Amino acid sequence: MDILVVGGGGREHALIMKLSESPRVDKLYCTPGNGGIAQYAECFDISATDIDGVLALAKRIKPDMVAVAPDDPLVMGMVDVLRENGFKTFGPTAKAAIIEGSKVFSKELMEKYGIPTAKCRVFTDSSEAIAYLKEQNSYPAVIKADGLALGKGVIIAQSEEEAAEAVKAMIDGGKFGKSGSRVVIEEFLTGPEVSVLSFTDGKTIVPMLSSMDHKRALDGDKGLNTGGMGTVAPNPYYTAAVEKECMEKIFLPTINAMNAEGRTFEGCLYFGLMLTPNGPKVIEYNCRFGDPETQVVLPMLETDLCEIFEAIYEHRLSDIKIKWKSGSCACVVMASGGYPESYPKGLEISGLDERGQIDGAFVYHAGTKVKDGKFLTNGGRVLGVVSSALTLEEALKRSYAAVSRIDWENVHYRKDIGKRALEAYTDPLNLEYKDDMEDYIEENGVYLRQ
Ligand code: AMP
Ligand code: GLY
């Protein structure tokens, strides 16, 4: 099969690498791709949000399948257009992608179907929102833009002033454009966060290996929210018991709810969960593979990804067994100094070698381009340096060793990726995890990664 992947970040690099392992895959295409992807797939200069451009490209290169990876084209209906034109396409239609495209939609869905999440109220008028904040008088307060905002539309306000400022900036000030004209104010939840990506064809849902993102820009979970500064998989807080509870109370009810609403979800559904003292709750849904979760989850996938995509498209996901490698995987994101705010582009990257010059490491490109044979920075998140090993400790050691060999002016990365997860492994409350993991490995017949 020839496959076209739409997108151009670290997530798409990980998708391309996994697909390239498949004996079923012949040629890989990616648009727009990036400097790293270009070594494995033919890339095109068509933006991931250019629906007409991508359709014209598909008509020209005639791929056997298209996988649409980023949120915006999914929410805008790229899958619908490609399918209407006869292309076998992986990803949800616009009607289903709204689960990420509108927080108001997802909150109403969870309320209607009794899926556990933070309590919330929706506002389109800033003075009503501020009056509500005053009445609640409970901080931190969580304020979210309704629509897509590059992972930056959530403000955790520590005071009334900060909360009021966020509400005014979104509703009256046009911050995030139309995405911020409606806001959700929700209860502040506490507990470890877990990302669970899942494969679903609308009938069956298969959760992937769990992971933990590190969303804040700075060490110790300080600084601004970003798209994600690093990930580890599996997430030690996500025990077999938690997975069972999530399956019963969140995963299956969500799939059923979407079916009941006439919005069957097909593709990768991402559950952003918080394990609160009152059980797991949904923080957010994403209608796609997470970034940088994909960079630690897909390397652990044993089963042929192309086979899974085909099974989903043909609604026979229940027929295949999806297997995972044992051990752990860690990704450290190397970003441009200044990210997530402003940062320069075009800086030369030194020491870059796709294997990170370390045994077992691999460098996924997120924002790079090649010019005159040199790799240059071309985005906020530039590289995701990934390693897998039998233990998380070893995986982190390898990733950081590889990171230390790569450099550019004012490079920024977190030094504490995986720290919380490592602590969780030795937390006495969490020791049962080890046994669960061993049972899981046995039941699922996974074997050790080479
Ligand atoms: P989101 O973009 O919805 O995933 O939110 C970004 C981050 O904000 C999450 O990963 C959480 O760390 C935090 N967050 C979102 N909603 C809440 C909440 N209700 N309570 C506490 N933290 C939250
Ligand atoms: N890493 C979080 C996301 O992909 O939205």
pLDDT tens across 356-381, in order? Answer: 667 789 999 999 999 998 999 999 99
Tokens for 7, please give them: 């997108």
**Mean pLDDT across the stretch 4-18?**
98
Mean pLDDT, the chain, integer: 92
Report the 10 Å Cβ neighbour count for 429: 8
Q: What is the pLDDT of residue 443?
A: 58
What are the start-end ranges of the H helices in 62-178?
71-76, 78-84, 94-101, 103-113, 126-136, 160-171
Ligand approaching nearest to the C-alpha of 69:
2
CB 33 within 8 A of CB 41: yes
What CATH number does domain 2-93 carry, 3.40.50.20, 3.40.50.300, 1.20.1050.10, 3.40.50.620?
3.40.50.20
* Whether pLDDT at 438 is above 60: no
Taking the centre of ligand 2 as the mean of its atom positions, its distance from the CA of residue 159, in whole angstroms, is 26
Q: What is the CA radius of gyration of the chain?
A: 21
pLDDT category at 353 given cuts 50, 70, 90 is confident
Ligand 2 site, residue 230, Cβ cutoff 6 A:
no
Taking the centre of ligand 2 as the mean of its atom positions, its distance from the CA of residue 293, in whole angstroms, is 7
Of all protein residues, whose CA lies closest to atom 5 belonging to ligand 2? 290
Q: What is the pLDDT of residue 442?
A: 54
Taking the centre of ligand 1 as the mean of its atom positions, its distance from the CA of residue 154, in whole angstroms, is 7
Ligand approaching nearest to the C-alpha of 229:
2
From residue 11, alpha-carbon distances to 105, 314, 363, 382 in Å are: 26, 24, 12, 12
Rounded Cα gap, residues 186 and 200, in angstroms: 28
Q: How many CA atoms lie within 13 A of 218 on its CB side?
A: 5
Q: What is the pLDDT of residue 431?
A: 47
Rounded Cα gap, residues 398 and 388, in angstroms: 8
Taking the centre of ligand 1 as the mean of its atom positions, its distance from the CA of residue 377, in whole angstroms, is 29
Rounded Cα gap, residues 20 and 11, in angstroms: 14
Mutation to probe ligand 1, out of 274, 278, 281, 282 (largest number of atoms < 8 A from CB): 274
Q: What is the pLDDT of residue 360?
A: 80
Percent of the chain past pLDDT 90, that is, above it, reads 83
Tokens for 2, please give them: 């020839």
Mutation to probe ligand 1, out of 106, 143, 154 (largest number of atoms < 8 A from CB): 154
Mutation to probe ligand 2, out of 286, 287, 296 (largest number of atoms < 8 A from CB): 286
Taking the centre of ligand 2 as the mean of its atom positions, its distance from the CA of residue 127, in whole angstroms, is 31
Rounded Cα gap, residues 284 and 400, in angstroms: 30
Class of the domain covering 125-181: alpha beta
Of all protein residues, whose CA lies closest to atom 7 belonging to ligand 1? 154
Location of structure tokens 């930056």: 152
Backbone dihedral region for residue 73 (phi beyond 0: left; psi -120 to 50: alpha; all else: beta): alpha
pLDDT category at 225 given cuts 50, 70, 90 is confident
**Mean pLDDT across the stretch 178-194?**
91
From residue 40, alpha-carbon distances to 18, 29, 43, 54, 302 in Å are: 11, 8, 9, 19, 20
Ligand 1 site, residue 447, Cβ cutoff 6 A:
no
pLDDT category at 447 given cuts 50, 70, 90 is very low
Location of structure tokens 């949000």: 49
Ligand 2 site, residue 291, Cβ cutoff 6 A:
yes
What are the start-end ranges of the H helices in 137-289?
160-171, 240-246, 252-260
Q: How many CA atoms lie within 13 A of 335 on its CB side?
A: 26
* Whether pLDDT at 89 is above 70: yes
Location of structure tokens 């670290």: 10
pLDDT tens for each residue of 312-321: 999 999 999 9
DSSP state of 264: -
CA 71 remoteness from chain centre: 10
Rounded Cα gap, residues 107 and 145, in angstroms: 12
Ligand approaching nearest to the C-alpha of 195:
2
* Whether pLDDT at 73 is above 90: yes
Taking the centre of ligand 2 as the mean of its atom positions, its distance from the CA of residue 16, in whole angstroms, is 18
**For the chain, domain boundaries:** 2-93, 125-181, 193-430
Class of the domain covering 193-430: alpha beta
Tokens for 338, please give them: 């200044």
Ligand 2 site, residue 436, Cβ cutoff 6 A:
no
- Strand 42-43: give its sheet, edge to edge: 42-43, 28-32, 3-7, 65-68, 89-90
From residue 446, alpha-carbon distances to 324, 327, 441 in Å are: 6, 10, 5
Query: Which three-class secondary structure state does DSSP give residue 427?
Result: coil
Taking the centre of ligand 1 as the mean of its atom positions, its distance from the CA of residue 217, in whole angstroms, is 14
**Mean pLDDT across the stretch 205-220?**
96
Q: What is the pLDDT of residue 279?
A: 92
Among residues 347, 301, 449, which one has the least CA distance to residue 389?
Answer: 449
pLDDT category at 121 given cuts 50, 70, 90 is very high
> What is the pTM (predicted TM-score) of this model?
0.92
**Mean pLDDT across the stretch 215-233?**
94
Q: What is the pLDDT of residue 150?
A: 75
Rounded Cα gap, residues 380 and 373, in angstroms: 21
Q: What is the pLDDT of residue 432?
A: 53
Ligand 2 site, residue 193, Cβ cutoff 6 A:
no
Q: State which amino acid sits at residue 366.
A: A
Q: What is the pLDDT of residue 435?
A: 57
Element (H, E) at 422: helix 419-426
Taking the centre of ligand 1 as the mean of its atom positions, its distance from the CA of residue 330, in whole angstroms, is 22
Of all protein residues, whose CA lies closest to atom 16 belonging to ligand 1? 283
Rounded Cα gap, residues 450 and 367, in angstroms: 29
